[in-house]
Structure 1
Amino acid sequence: MRIVVFVLILANVATAIGVVYARHEHRQLFIAFKHLERERDELNIDFGRLQLEQATWAESNRIDQVARNRLGMAFPSADETVVVRP
């Protein structure tokens, strides 16, 4: 009878330790999860900013301005245009 009681007490203690360990592990994983969520949100904000910046740099007016000012490009005049027909 004593052996059965001892085994039950031992099983009870082992189960309690298992529960404490599982809760601790859950807390650690939850903290890591929240950290990753926060990092994901920050990356999404940065991605949105970069998309906006890309759209700004790719505007046709901006490209035309850079082509004229930095590269010295201009539309050819009518007498400089040659039409090639097959």
Structure 2
Amino acid sequence: MIRLALVVLVLANVISAIGVVYARHQHRELYVQLTRLERERDELDIEFGRLQLEQATWAESNRIDQVARSRLGMKFPATDEIVVVRP
């Protein structure tokens, strides 16, 4: 009877130890994944900042004016060329 109880306790102890080892292994894998995802998030934040800066640069009014003049041949009309249309 005492031997059976001792065997059960030893098995429970071994099973518990295996469970602890498995839980620590899972924790390490998840921590590595978390670190990788945080690094990826930081890289995406940097890229997003660059894209916002690029968008702001392309959307500046003087840049739009420059492109309109050089590529499209547009210009501001002279005063005598302006016609006001009223309803």
Q: Specify if TM > 0.5.
A: yes
> 1:47 aligns to what SS in structure 2?
helix
TM-score by length of 2: 0.95
Give the 5 Å matches for 1:35-74: 35-74=36-75
Sequence identity percentage: 73
- Rounded to whole Å, the distance in 1 between the matches of 2:79 and 2:20 is 85
Aligned mates of 1:49, 1:59 — CA distance in 2:
16
TM-score scaled by structure 1?
Answer: 0.96
Q: What CA distance in whole angstroms lies between the structure 2 residues aligned with 1:13 and 1:72?
A: 83
May I ask how many residue pairs the two structures share in their alignment? 86
Cα distance in 2, alignment partners of residues 83 and 57 from structure 1: 31
In structure 2, list runs of 5 or more residues that go unmatched: none
Q: Distance in 1 between matches of 2:42 and 2:32?
A: 15
SS at 2:74's partner residue?
coil
**Separation in structure 2 between the aligned mates of residue 28 and residue 85 of structure 1, nearest angstrom:** 72
RMSD (CA atoms): 0.7
Gaps of at least 5 residues in structure 1 are none
Q: Spell out structure 1 runs of 4+ moving beyond 2 A.
A: none
Match of 1:30 in 2: 31
Counterpart CA distance in 1 for 2:68 and 2:60 is 12
3-state SS of paired residue (2:23): helix
Question: Matched residues in 2 for 1:26 and 1:85: separation?
Answer: 74
